[in-house]
Amino acid sequence: MRSINPEIQKAVWTELTPTRLIMTPLLLLLLGSVVQMGERSDQDVQGWYTALFAPISFLSVYYYGNQKIAVSVLSEISQKSWEYQRLSALSPWSLTWGKMVGGMLFPWYVGLPSLLAVQYYGQMFMRWEHLIPLILLAMTLHAFVLYWSLMIVRKSAALQYPITRYTSLFGLFPALFALWVITIGKESFAHPERLTSWYEMNLDHFTTVTLTLLLACSWMWLAAWRAMRSELQVRQYPWAWFLFVLMLVVYLGGFIQPRAGMVSVGFTISILFFYQNLFSETKDLLLVRQLQHHWRQRNWLQLGNLVPQWVISFFMVLIFWGLSLFFWPTESETWSFVLLTSIVLFSLRDLALVLFFSLGINPKRRDAAAFFYLSLSYALPILLLSTMSASTRESYSLLFYPPFSHPKAVDLLLPLAEAVLLWFLVIARYRQRQRETKLDDQPIPFPPPTVER
């Protein structure tokens, strides 16, 4: 048993007990035999198999399987054993696929036979190969849950949040998403004559969905592996994030006409990932000092290892913003270079707001306070603007939102002033925190020892 992954070995001992190994197929066979009993037409048998086994397969794989994968990671925090995992001799890849396969064992032991029964007796899909997207979707969601579990572990290890009580959400939301995808996919697979144009190639819906899920599954497994490497403090470089964003731009650009729209796709993807990574990764004073130290020492390898993904995402935003000068359609009125510049300035303002709270003293409320005030800066103006007239609303909306309607160069002055003001406050707080930490690092002066006389 030494050659078996320890995580899988632990899952086999705890999940695949003799009782479960025996009773699970017996119960499934019992349900199948009950459906076969009596005088029923073939259509009724198909309906009963679909009604019984489809929910069992779906809930066991997409809900219970994702929840077990999340529990396999998040329970390490509640049991205070995550540090022992990090100090073990297991490699990041061994821990990644060990947690993944270990959490999948029993749910797939129940779900896969149920899925085969639904297809064989219930004929849920027209062809057997239509089950391939279902399996790829499940594997993608498993990797996604593992990735976000590791992201939450990174937060909870410092903040000590009671996260284990929310593990059911890791099964609920992926299950709802899978139900939506399966419903749309089943309807599209029923019409093989419909084709999708991708870079002037006509692909049927089954091929498009299968290749898309295969691509998503590969990148999600890579993301989970890199998140595990980050938790184990193994050196890694930001090349994967660059390639991932470029892959999304190239992939989604194939569905867009004209090709100049790829710049808008790249800008939109980069700005969305920028905000997502801004709250999922660290932004504290220690990280800033580490980056400054390696920059001054010209240690580029270690600097690339420490650069957070929100910095890389914002760098990609600037790249696509610069490309819009050359590739953006000149006849466009709503989406223009002025609008993109305004969005970049607003993102700089939002970044300064988040960093201002991230440099605060209380570590438990940094991200929560930043998210609250950032949401308030976009939600509260909606109430204020709703009480104004149309002409006044258009003028004052430039204070809070990018000019989506008829943008002009003068509209850039307000977001520029807001960004400059907030960055001035960020620099002031950063210098204040530096002075405080320097005073804390100094040795405490003790009084001279007294001498008894």
pLDDT tens, residue by residue, 341-353:
888 998 999 999 8
Instruction: Judge whether residue 218 has pLDDT over 90.
Output: yes
For residues 278 and 314, the answer to whether their CB atoms sit within 8 Å is no
Instruction: Judge whether residue 158 has pLDDT over 60.
Output: no
Q: Within 13 A of 318's CA, how many CA atoms are on the CB side?
A: 8
Cα–Cα nearest to 177, from 220, 128, 207: 220
**pLDDT-based confidence at 172, cuts 50/70/90?**
confident
| Distances 306 to 177, 207, 291, 299, 358 between C-alpha atoms, Å | 33, 39, 7, 11, 17
CA distance 114 to 108: 9
Question: Residue 274, exposed/middle/buried by CB under 10 A (0-12, 13-18, 19+)?
Answer: buried
Average pLDDT, integer, range 270-284: 84
Torsion over CA: 210, 216, 219, 223 (sign): negative
For residues 316 and 270, the answer to whether their CB atoms sit within 8 Å is yes
DSSP label at residue 168? T
The pLDDT value given to residue 420: 92
CA distance 14 to 5: 14
Average pLDDT, integer, range 7-31: 87
For 196, the 3-state DSSP assignment is: strand
Q: How many CB atoms lie within 10 A of CB 36?
A: 12
Lookup: tokens for 393? 């609303």
Question: What are the residues whose beta carbons fall under 8 Å from the beta carbon of 314, sequence distance 6 or more?
Answer: 270, 274, 347, 351
Query: Which segment of 83-92, 258-267, 274-283 scores lowest on mean pLDDT?
Result: 258-267
For residues 347 and 271, the answer to whether their CB atoms sit within 8 Å is yes
Instruction: Rounding to the nearest 10 degrees, give the CA dihedral for residues 13, 19, 22, 28.
Output: -110
